[in-house]
Amino acid sequence: MNAVELKGLCKKYKSKKSGTREFELKDVSLTLPYGCIMGLIGENGAGKSTTISLMLDIIEKDKGEISLLGCNTAEERVKAKDDIGVVLDEPCFPVYFTAVQINKIMKSTYSKWNEEQFFSYLERFDIDQKKIVKKLSKGMKMKLSIAVALSHSAKLLIMDEPTSGLDPVVRNEIVEILLEFTREPTNSVLISSHIVSDLEKLCDYVAFIHKGRVVLCDEKDRLLERYATVHCTAEEFGRIEPSSVKGSIETHYGVDAVIERTAIPDGMDFEPVSMEELFVLFVKNRHLS
Amino acid sequence: MKKALVNQWHIVNRNFSLLFWFSVLHVLQLAFGFAVISDGFVIAALFSCLLSDGYAAKWKYYSRVLPISVFERVTASFIFAVAEMLIAFASILAASAKALGIVNALLPLADFDVLPDGVFTAVVAVLYFVAASIITSFCFVASHLFKRVLPILGSTIIIMAMFFLLIFLIVLNFETFLPAFLSAMNEAPWLLAFVAVFGLLLLPASWLAVLGIETVNNSRRKKHFFICAVIVLLISVLSLGAEIGYSYSKGYIDLPENNEEYLDGNETTTQPTASSAEVEAEKRIMNKLSDFLADGMAVDLTFEELDKRMESIGYIREGNKYVGESSKTEIGVTGDDTVTEFTVYNKSSCNTAVMTLEEYDSFSQKYRLGMSETDFLQLLEQENIYIGDVTEYYDFADGYEDRVIVRKYNIYIHVSRPKLVGYSSNAGMTVDYHTLTVHIADGKAVFVKMY
């Protein structure tokens, strides 16, 4: 059973002025099993937020199938949203509301809203309950969003760039909270970010989105086992089977490449790949002419 | 649906609270006759601006991730939008009622001959209301459709329209209006204080409250609203001035120099000043007595009959006087078998009123209660009573100024002039209050009170 299943999801945005195609999400397919954390990695404008918006029915899809917690239609997903905690990249609560007022709203919104849990999170996150949202720092606002998302017994957390713009201490705290959340075997998290180091600490699965396409989607450990980084000369790089190269950058000092370990020529030095290298080389993949 | 409604309620609750307090404020303004012609319209326009922002676009976006269906969300939004619109509309109605009063007050200045005043006033008021409603509704709808630009444009149009309408009405009879306005303001400093306190403080305070709303938080809007506030304030002051001017031109405001023409060259004595409570008590007694006396007192009234009558108005005889409600007023009575003399002595005003029953009887036949001042004065002339030298000037503490008319037979007639004692700017009208008290001196007198 999967918490999230996306099959062939497509969405086109057209430019308002020219009517030409501005952005296209092409054939996005993902599967997130229960109890796992999946990271959506991609550069800005790659299509991460669009994918999440489609999943949550904030925007309408052109094509494809979405299944959240086993609910396949938009009507079913409205009910499923009771079990889905959402954290968007920017907290969207009315800015003149306090955490106490937000509690009132959410109490009437989520059937399983746990007031005590919410206030215990507020205490834990050191959020002033009487302070209006406007006066909270960005980190505090994000923590407030997370507190809301975690206080209604959600089974699935969908988070869009929750750590962007936050300092490392707060980011680390959020990572810890999410790890704690997934200790429960039925809880799952789908998190998008371009801060790969955070996802590396957190994720079981990783999906790379580049220019509206999922270019890689696998278990994180398997990816790290499967690929390696090589730093070699252009001549040495020429000896590598091209189909095994997932990304490379040619510099004046040689070539940095991510390749499948099985295709590394004998005697060539290689290093374990980090998620960040994998991401950067996948995205850049350029050569000097 | 309940969930969605509750959810929406919390969000719009702030707007409702604000609407409520503005409604209270507006009712107070109307109740106290503040000449705020256009605040209701502007407030309505403001709300439409606020509603255009809804409860923040971000929240709308976020609400889609909540377990509320599209139908529920849209329906709940619609219900609350309609409710807010109704309140805004009520505000328009209130403002229109106010406008009607203002137009009613101003039109006579214009001296139109085309239609009878009443009809013309009604037509203009209705047109005024309809036009304002259309503009405000347009503004409201536009705010929902086009979010930002048109509400600002709309509210500006409303304000400008109100302003020019007022100017138009004023200019129609500028020569009458301006001197009257200036004179009234000059001669009635309390009006200036009134304008200063309520116009200069209350209105901007309410505007500041508006500026504090979350959706009005960008500087361009603040600037816009500030400009609106200044314009509204100007309109308020002008419209108040118009009302004062009108009142003055109609003689409802009595300026001191007008009294001087009665007092000039005459000896003036000031009577001891009674407190307003005493004055009220005296008024009540006079009322009762005049009713009592006007009720056809027979010449050969026995003490027994008089006792009964006096008891019916709360007076008990103790020896040769009647003691009643006010310790300040004593009523003396003399006679053997029948009452021959009836004396009213008021300690606070040091007035003694004595008359024989025959005198009262003949007098009261002619000067019935409820007569107009003009008719009454005509009757006095017929009876060779002339308006002559003033020998007494009486000034009650409550501000009533009475001029004294003297009869050649030493009959003192106290006539309090029509005064602006009640002022209802809702209807743009003043309330006349006539008090006519007739003293007959030479040891014998009668009190008659006329409204």
Per-residue pLDDT, A171: 83
Judge whether residue A166 has pLDDT over 90: no
Q: Closest partner residue to B67 among A79, A92, A134, by Cβ?
A: A79
Q: Is A8 left (phi over 0), alpha (psi -120 to 50) or beta?
A: left
With H, G, I as helix, E, B as strand and everything else as coil, classify residue B15. helix
A105 → closest Cβ in B10, B56, B67? B10
- Per-residue model confidence (pLDDT) at position A15: 65
Domain boundaries, chain B: 2-251, 259-450
Q: How near does any CA of chain A get to the CA of B223, in Å?
A: 21
Q: For residues B33 and B426, is the Cβ–Cβ distance under 8 A?
A: yes
pLDDT of residue B242: 57
Does B55 sit within 8 Å of A109, measured CB to CB?
A: no
Q: What number of other Cβ atoms are within 10 A of residue A4's Cβ?
A: 22
What pLDDT sits at residue B176?
46
Q: Is B14 on the interface with A (CB under 8 A)?
A: yes
Would you give the distance in Å from CA B253 to the centre of its chain? 13
- Across the interface, whether the CB atoms of A92 and B61 are under 8 A apart is answered yes
* Average pLDDT, consecutive stretches of 10 residues, N- to C-terminus, chain B (451 residues): 56 48 49 40 43 48 76 62 54 49 46 43 50 48 44 49 51 45 50 45 42 42 54 56 54 39 33 44 51 43 68 71 59 58 46 42 40 51 43 36 34 35 26 34 33 26
Establish if B218 touches chain A: CB-CB under 8 angstroms.
Answer: no
Chain B CB contacts of A55 under 8 Å are none
Q: What is the largest CA-CA distance in chain A?
A: 66
Task: Indicate if the alpha-carbon torsion angle A50, A54, A57, A61 is positive or negative.
Answer: positive
Which residue among A78, A92, A101 places its CB closest to the CB of B62?
A92
Chain centroid, CA B178 distance in Å:
22
Mean pLDDT on A139-146? 89
Could you give the 3-state DSSP secondary structure of residue A270? coil
Q: Which two tokens stand for residue A190?
A: 């789908």
The upper half-sphere exposure of residue B276, i.e. CA atoms within 13 Å in the direction of its Cβ, equals: 4
Residue in chain B nearest A53 by alpha carbon: B65
Output the pLDDT for position A195: 82
Cβ neighbour number for residue A91 with a 10 Å cutoff: 22
**Inter-residue long-range contacts of B367-375, CB under 8 Å, 24+ positions, other chains counted:** B367/B438, B367/B448, B368/B294, B369/B290, B369/B291, B369/B294, B369/B448, B369/B449, B369/B450, B369/B451, B370/B450, B370/B451, B371/B450, B373/B415, B373/B418, B373/B434, B373/B436, B373/B450
Q: Does B56 contact A at CB distance below 8 Å?
A: yes
Selection from A157, A214, A218, A190 nearest residue A10 by Cα:
A214
- What was the pLDDT predicted at B374? 54
Q: Can you read off the two tokens belonging to residue A48? A: 């991460």
In this structure, are residues B112 and B169 in contact, taking their beta carbons and an 8 Å threshold? no
Most confident of A115-124, A169-178, B78-87, B139-148: A115-124
Rounded CA separation A66/A43 (Å): 23
B6, B59, B67: residue with CB nearest A81: B67
Residue B6 has its nearest CB partner, among A57, A92, A108, at A108
Q: Are A248 and A273 in contact (CB under 8 A)?
A: no
Which of helix, strand or coil describes residue A13? Answer: strand
Name the residue among B14, B56, B65 with its Cβ closest to that of A81. B65
Cβ within 8 Å, pair B67-A82: yes
Residues of chain A in Cβ contact (below 8 Å) with chain B: 56-58, 75, 78-82, 84, 86, 88, 90, 92-96, 101, 104-105, 108-111, 134
Shortest CA gap B146–chain A (Å):
17
**Is the pLDDT reported for residue A157 higher than 70?**
yes
**Mean pLDDT, residues A181-196 taken together:** 89
Looking at the predicted structure, is the pLDDT value of residue A188 above 90?
yes
| Other CB atoms within 10 Å distance of the CB of residue B130 | 11
Size (chain B), residues: 451
Task: Collect all residues of chain B within an 8 Å Cβ-Cβ radius of residue A109.
Answer: 3, 7, 66-68
For the record, the structure tokens of A137 come out as 């720092």
- Quote the tokens at residue B199: 């116009």
Backbone φ and ψ for B27, nearest 5 degrees, come out as -60, -40
Could you give the CA distance from residue B151 to residue B157 in angstroms, rounded to a whole number?
Answer: 10
- Answer whether B448's CB lies under 8 Å from B287's CB: no
Shortest CA distance from B2: residue in chain A: A108
pLDDT at position B375: 55
Q: List, in sequence order, every beta strand (DSSP E) within chain A.
A: 2-14, 21-33, 37-41, 63-68, 84-87, 156-160, 188-193, 205-210, 213-219, 227-232, 245-251, 254-260, 271-272
pLDDT of residue A51: 93
Query: Which residue on chain B is closest to A82 by alpha carbon?
Result: B67
Six-digit token pair at A144? 């407030």
Beta bridge partners of A270: none
| Spatial CA neighbour of B415 closest among B404, B423, B407 | B404
Q: Is the pLDDT of residue A110 over 60?
A: yes
**Residues in chain A within 8 Å Cβ distance of B68:** 78, 109
The one-character DSSP state at A4 is: E
Residues in A touching B66 (Cβ below 8 Å): 81, 109-110
What pLDDT is attached to residue B450? 31
Query: Closest partner residue to A57 among B14, B58, B64, by Cβ?
Result: B64
d(CA B47, CA B143): 10
- Is B10's CB within 8 Å of A75's CB? no
At residue A262, the pLDDT reads 86
Cross-chain Cβ contact B14/A96 below 8 Å? yes
Q: Is B214 on the interface with A (CB under 8 A)?
A: yes
